[in-house]
Homo-oligomer: A and B are copies of this chain.
């Protein structure tokens, strides 16, 4: 899969490439006729029909009863096409998150929709790798009926770890892991033989928070996950940018100056502590702070203003390096953003050069299963790419 060789191709790979392109187009546009598809892929109508025949045979695509119509009921002259769509229930992708305090599982269908999700409390730091993986896989597969299991086409695992491209964990301070071949541990513990991918939770969340809006959004997106720590992930043209060691986007570690890091100022713990001191509360909760800001309560407003200032600084710093045009805020602390959005924008505008375009900022809702969902999305994306193991039994036998 590296460099020069990946360009070369054999006649059979043509077909594979076109099948992938067809599946992606159907995922992106939901419903297309064979003729639409031919235009989209710049193929001949007859080739399009032939490819679709194969995919229907495989059970991945089906004809929709309804006939075409131009989206808004407008019918053009001419014979209407037979609409095609992916068969959502044809395959299944499982995403698992092993967190510090909980384990989560999400099942994704071929339409990249979550069809099931479960969560359990979990004591991460007290659990060795093998036990944690075993527990997580148990939650994912034990209750799954065998005929459903057979539909599984991949498993993604997200954990708060620094890990290399191949799934070797260098360090996971929050879980007490170090130098573990996590992907290998998972593969050994898997009850079925499907592709396994592992990824840092912030990176997985970044994928999940942006996946499916458009399959490949042009531009650069920075996704933040703001809890006690502040993690992040970067997407370039819809693909995750990991950096050299999987640490790209970890803007919580940016320095405000040489002494203080961003996450020590905008993380959950710090803003709650600040709020507690200002209001004389022993155990302040985020909900209290949010209500306080909404009610323009003294103390809460100051905390929110400081948060907005520091967040803006961090975003400006990050944008100067990666020039993002979109920022997505996730994690529980992100709930603060809508309350101080204009303050953040003001600070952004003040700190950034006038000529530098400001990024669009949005909040990612429904992040409950964020990392697990993202991990499953990684396998969905993989299924619709050259790495898909639909071609595993394909031509080149000299490949390990």
Chain A residues engaging chain B, CB cutoff 8 angstroms: 2-5, 7-11, 13-14, 17-18, 20-21, 24-25, 28, 40-43, 162, 170-171, 173, 215-216, 218-220, 234, 236, 241-251, 253-258, 313, 316-318, 320-326, 351, 353, 355-357, 359, 396, 398-399
Contacts and interface: CB of A to CB of B under 8 A. Distances in A.
Contacts of A4: 21, 24-25, 28, 40-41, 215-216
Given A7-B21, A220-B244, A321-B321, 19 more contacts: A4-B25, A4-B28, A4-B215, A5-B40, A7-B41, A8-B21, A8-B43, A9-B14, A9-B18, A11-B11, A244-B325, A244-B357, A245-B323, A248-B321, A253-B353, A254-B317, A254-B320, A256-B257, A317-B321
Given A236-B241, A243-B323, A244-B323, A313 B255 contact: yes
Contacts of A253: 320, 353
Contact of A248 (B28, B242, B323): B323
A219 to B, nearest CB: 5
Top 9 A-B residue pairs of the complex, sorted by shortest distance between their CB atoms: A243-B323, A244-B325, A8-B41, A248-B323, A7-B21, A247-B323, A321-B321, A257-B257, A8-B21
Given A320-B250, A321-B321, A323-B248, A255 B24 contact: no
Contact of A313 (B171, B245, B258, B357): B258
Question: Which of A21, A24, A42, A246 has most B Cβ within 10 Å?
Answer: A42
24 contacts: A3-B216, A4-B215, A5-B41, A8-B42, A9-B18, A10-B14, A10-B43, A14-B14, A162-B355, A220-B243, A236-B241, A241-B322, A247-B323, A247-B356, A248-B321, A250-B321, A250-B323, A251-B320, A253-B353, A254-B317, A254-B321, A255-B313, A255-B351, A257-B257
A51 to B, nearest CB: 9
Contact of A9 (B17, B254, B313, B398): B17
